[in-house]
Amino acid sequence: MDPAGPPLSSEVVDPHEPAHLDLIPFGIIEPMISSVVAANIQAVVGLFVRTHPPSELPADAFITMRNQYDAAKIIHTIGQADGGAPFKLGLIAHDLCIPILTYVYGESQMGGSAAVISTARLFDTRQEIFYQRIAKVAVHETGHLVGLAHCRQIDCLMRFSRDIEQLDRLPLLFCSVCEYEIARQIKRFINMGTAGK
């Protein structure tokens, strides 16, 4: 990692650039959304993000009866991919679910390598709000990737949001305990020299 800190730009396409997290858009995703996600993960979590060109939507993850994509299958697909950064975050505009839940804003492997978020239920006519919601869900799921569980503090981004209003009330910040834990996990992760190339 660059001692001066990672660049805030998400326009990283050079596959040889070292990165901690690969951001993988699926289907048609507005480039600005990718930039917002990458910039916030870098700024809030401290992981250097490399944004990939858009990938095709994984057809086998589509559940026709529910008209939704299975988040678990997308995560499995992302996680199976060889190489790249140790963390991978998928970005999709379609609605996501898991078999037991009617929908999810995002899903991740707790302490694992892959996660995915959907923008489908986060839309707001006010663009600023829309981008904030996407950034919050992306940072929240990245927190799970790093190993954090849900937090009970009302002013912590790792708190579970029951609905969009609760998500809007959350700050784009962690509480001091979660912040400390994230910093500790990332320090351990960097010391292990696991940053991908």
Partner 1 sequence: MAQAMQVLVVDDEETICLSLAAWLFKAGYRVETAGSGQEALTQLKQRLFDIYLLDIKMPSMDGLELLAEIKALQPDAAAIMITAHGSIQTAVASMKKGAVDYLCKPFDPDELSLVMERVAATKALKDENEVLRMQLMEQQAAFLEGIVAQSAAMHAVLADIEEMAPSNAAVLITGETGVGKDLVARMIHLRSRQAQGPFIAVNCGAQTESLLESELFGHERGAFTGAVKARRGLLEMADGGTLFLDEIGEITQKMQVALLRVLEDKHFQRLGGGHPIDTQFRLICATHRDLLQLRREELFREDFFYRINVFSIHVPPLRQRREDIPVLADFFLQKYNQETGKRIEGFTQNAMAALCAYPWPGNARELRNVVERVVVLTRGRMIGAAEIAFLEKSADACDSDGLTLKALEQRHINSVLAACEGNITHAAKRLGIDRVTLSRKLKRYQASLAASGEIK
Min. distance of Cβ 123 from partner 1 in angstroms?
18
Q: Which residues lie across from 118 on neighbouring strands?
A: 92
Closer residue to partner 1 (CB): 19 or 167: 167
CB nearer partner 1, residue 99 or residue 171: 99
The least CB distance from residue 104 to partner 1, in Å, is 6
> 């995560």: which residue's tokens?
75
Site for partner 1 contains 19 (CB under 8 A): no
Q: Does 156 bind partner 1 (CB under 8 A)?
A: no
* Cα–Cα distance measured from residue 38 to residue 130, given in angstroms and rounded to the nearest whole number: 15
Task: Give the type of residue at 196.
Answer: G
Stretch touching partner 1 by CB under 8 A, among 12-20, 94-102, 122-130, 185-193: 94-102
H-only helix segments in the chain: 31-40, 71-80, 127-146, 164-169, 176-191
CB 185 within 8 A of CB 112: no
Q: Which residues bind partner 1 (CB under 8 A)?
A: 72, 97-104, 108-110, 144, 149-150, 152, 160, 162-163
